[in-house]
């Protein structure tokens, strides 16, 4: 599971799994960079993981900061930069902007992983790897596949 580093959304708790049952990579805004992709490649190529879930969540602070164009310091602007594609695709959609950006980001990241990871395109094409975007509702505990 590629998920957000927000302490309210630990996949092990969300899916009622014990330690060691899930391979989890967490980063604010569930965005991709080389280290994140490398971590996921390790799971797929060396641990035989066949399902990757990219899970965004409601009330994501990284997404909210991107939507409000909040001025951030240090390395934090790199997070909002990574979310700009989802922000641009969500503009004009009906509904809550933060929710729409979060969902679009999960979809975009899942699609990018399908094309980016070592051997991922052929694994996906041969049905040996599935990559799905998802959205977790903090209020209800429900996970929607997108």
Q: Catalytic residue positions?
A: 4, 6, 8, 57, 60
Helix (H) or strand (E) holding 123: helix 120-125
Give the full edge-to-edge strand order of the sheet including 143-145: 25-26, 2-3, 51-57, 130-136, 143-145
Q: b vs e for 54-85, b when ≥16 Cβ sit within 10 Å of the residue's Cβ?
A: bbbbbebebbebbbeeeeeeeeeeebbebbeb
Residue with tokens 């699609």, as numbered in its chain: 111
Give the integer Cα–Cα distance in Å for 48 and 60. Answer: 30
Give the integer Cα–Cα distance in Å for 50 and 48. Answer: 6
């Amino acid at each position: 599971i590629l998920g957000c580093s927000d302490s309210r959304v630990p996949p092990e708790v969300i899916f009622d799994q014990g330690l060691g049952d899930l391979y989890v990579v967490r980063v604010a805004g569930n965005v991709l960079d080389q280290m994140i992709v490398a971590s996921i490649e390790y799971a797929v190529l060396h641990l035989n993981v066949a399902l990757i879930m990219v899970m965004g969540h409601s009330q994501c602070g990284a997404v909210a900061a991107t939507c409000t164009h909040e001025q951030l310091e240090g390395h934090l602007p790199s997070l909002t930069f990574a979310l700009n594609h989802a922000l641009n695709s969500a503009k004009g959609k009906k509904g809550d902007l933060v929710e729409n950006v979060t969902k679009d980001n999960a979809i975009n990241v899942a699609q990018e992983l399908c094309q980016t990871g070592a051997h991922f395109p052929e694994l996906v094409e041969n049905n040996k790897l599935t990559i799905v975007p998802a959205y977790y509702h903090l209020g209800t505990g429900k996970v929607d596949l997108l």
